Structure 1
Amino acid sequence: MAVAEPLTPLELPLTQIDVWLVPATDDVTAMEKIAGHWLSAAEWERLQSRRLPKGHAMFLLTRAVLRRLLSVYQAGVEPGQWQLGRSAEGRPCVLGPLPAPVFNLSHTDDMLVLAFAALDQVGVDIEALDRPLEAAALARRFFSDSEFNALQALPPPQQQDRFLRLWTLKEACVKANGQGLARALRNFEFGFEPALVFYPAPHEAPPHHYWRLWSLTVAGLRVALALRADNNPGAPELCVRQLLWPDQVSIISCTPDYQCGT
């Protein structure tokens, strides 16, 4: 079992992507006491519009953890000083007051995941392995015809696992590329034989963009990451950590189930 240590300032090498898993917490009152004043007026308004307790708690956790971790990478900036917005492509980003790692995030009901990279664009998605899904209906709607047919040809016990891996990888690619979900999932296609082969969206070339993809299975969760780079990023390493709010961190040892690059 990993040993938790106090959260301290970190550097993010160009050759590394940091992945943070953050379990949800039910103690919203304690979280608001620590981090409520970090939120901007717009964020506070959005928080108060979340009427369901789980939605309220996850929105607060998302904003609090993001601001807390940005200040881990830039220790000279207090969490409440970060100005957050969206890029021209619609990705969440940092607007100031200092440069910060690029980031992306996703969550289930019980777990938040954040990915940070020093350069380029990163996308992350997470799903619970036991989440009930209509895999065939979703694949028919959002996957390419060849992917749907290949999925249907698999033995039934393998279909759910393969669908979930592709769904999360595709979502991570869409988020790294800054496109809308519904119209973009088909643009990132995978061949099934002899193993998963990734085909970037046709409009990516020319000009060509480099891609690195990873799929992880951690604590009953499927986590997918995508890095989109204008220049060859080499072979970045993943560092996976768990943050126990507000200030305890541990390293999680895990090996990707799948990784590829273009």
Structure 2
Amino acid sequence: MGRLLLAEGPDGPWEGLHEELSRTGSVVLYATMPAWQPRGGTESDLRRRLGRDWRRYETITQPRIRERFVASRLFLRQTAAAALRTAPDLVDLAYQPGGRPYVRGCDQIDVSLSHTEEMMVVGLTRRGRIGVDVERADRRLAHTGSERQACTPYEKERLDAGGEEARNDTMVRLWTLKEAYSKALGQGLRFRFTEFGFALDGASSRLVRPDGSPVPGGEWQFVTRPAGEGYVVSAAVCDTGFGELSDLSVGTTLDAGMLDALMGAPGAGRPAPPKSLPGDL
């Protein structure tokens, strides 16, 4: 994974997404919720843009939560569409039992979503699994009981050795890394944070056992980056050996039967799917 990208809105720019996917196989983008609120349009338009998420949207009664739900789902859907070089309406988002999102019919990519306050983050990879998490950089975690609930004996030792000035920043970093890793595994908060840890060495992060001993294997990669004004983003990516898939367009990643279903054109002679978004840069 490389740099963290700002998604200014539905119109992009999206060049950086394709560059990062081509270079590293994964991309993490951040955006503010106001930039992704729908502008005008009818209820029918919003229903079309949300797809199967419309049913959940209808159950939300609090206006602020509704706004956050709409913005985050449109952001996730548009990011997947840009990666697949198709229209957002053709991206079929679904959810695993634990709430983890995925793109139906496109198991060559994996996606993850996180949001807090006005900030949203989407991760996408073609290498295997990805999880992302975002928190306020100044969120108070040190000396709040979070260390007991989330830190291994090794991590507590390292926190004490690092001094009081860096303690909260380190806790925020550890917390977002653990959230991102558990999301990538599809476990969320069901995976006890005291059962795994991280060794932090400058900008690098390594997965370790509760006693600090290394976990064998090098398939996991972890990064933490600042985002926007006052936020911290962590991402966890597992390379499951999918290989170098350079073409992620829907015509490549979907099997013919699924493509027929999504495009609404059964049988042979269907029109070719669009190769780029309207106004794609």
TM-score (norm 2): 0.68
Letter in 1 for 2:51: S
How far apart are residue 139 of structure 1 and its match? 1.4
SS at match of 1:178: coil
Aligned to 2:256: none
User: Can you give the 5+ residue segments of structure 2 that lack an aligned partner in the other structure?
Assistant: 1-5, 245-277
Partner of 1:166: 174
CA-CA distance at 1:172 after TM superposition: 0.9
Measured in 2, the distance between the counterparts of 1:148 and 1:190 equals 11
The answer as to whether partners of 1:13 and 1:118 remain within 8 angstroms in 2 is no
Shift in alpha-carbon separation, 1:80–1:100, aligned structure 2, 3 A: farther
Alignment map for 1:190-201 (pairs within 5 Å): 190-191=198-199, 198-200=206-208
User: Are 1:127 and 2:138 counterparts?
Assistant: no
Tell whether the 8 Å contact from 2:205 to 2:222 is kept in structure 1 after alignment. no
The residue that corresponds to 1:39 in the other structure is 50
Cα deviation, residue 52, structure 1: 2.4
Query: Quick one: structure 1 residues 111 and 249, their matched pair in 2 at CA, closer, same or farther if it must change by over 3 Å?
Result: farther
Quick check: 1:81 aligned with 2:90?
yes
Q: 2:145 corresponds to which residue?
A: 137
1:214 to 202, 217, 223: 223
1:54 aligns with 2:60: no
Matches within 5 A, 1:98-247: 101-133=109-141, 135-191=143-199, 198-200=206-208, 208=217, 210-219=219-228, 220-231=230-241
SS at match of 1:186: helix
Q: 1:59 deviation in Å?
A: 0.6
Q: Which has the larger radius of gyration?
A: 2
State the Cα RMSD in Å. Answer: 3.7
- SS of residue matched to 2:82: helix
Shift, 1:8, TM fit: 5.2
Q: Does residue 1:71 correspond to 2:81, yes or no?
A: yes
Asked whether the 8 Å contact 2:127–2:243 carries over to 1, the reply is no
Task: Give the letter aligned to residue 75 of structure 1.
Answer: R
Higher relative contact order (CA 8 A, sep 6+): 1
| AA in 1 matched with 2:138 | D
Amino acid at match of 2:48: H
Q: CA deviation at 1:159?
A: 0.8
Distance in 2 separating the partners of 1:118 and 1:14:
11
Structure with greater strand percent: 1
User: What is the SS of the residue equivalent to 1:114?
Assistant: strand
- Structure 1's 193 and 218: CA in aligned 2 closer, same or farther, altered over 3 A? closer
SS for the counterpart of 1:225 is: strand
SS at match of 1:157: coil
Partner SS state of residue 145, structure 2:
helix
Q: Name the count of aligned residue pairs.
A: 231
Quick one: distance in 1 between partners of 2:279 and 2:114? 21
Displacement of 1:20 in angstroms is 1.2
Deviation per CA, 1:234-261, whole angstroms, max 9, x where unpaired?
A: 9xxxxxxxxxxxx9999xxxxxxxxxxx
Distance 2:181 2:221 in 1: 10
Using the size of structure 1 for normalisation, the TM-score is 0.72
State percent identity of aligned pairs.
Answer: 26
Worse-matched range after superposition: 164-173 or 78-87 = 78-87
Q: Is the 8 A contact 1:187 1:201 kept in 2?
A: yes
Counterpart residue type for residue 199 of structure 1: L
What amino acid maps onto 1:186 in structure 2?
A: T
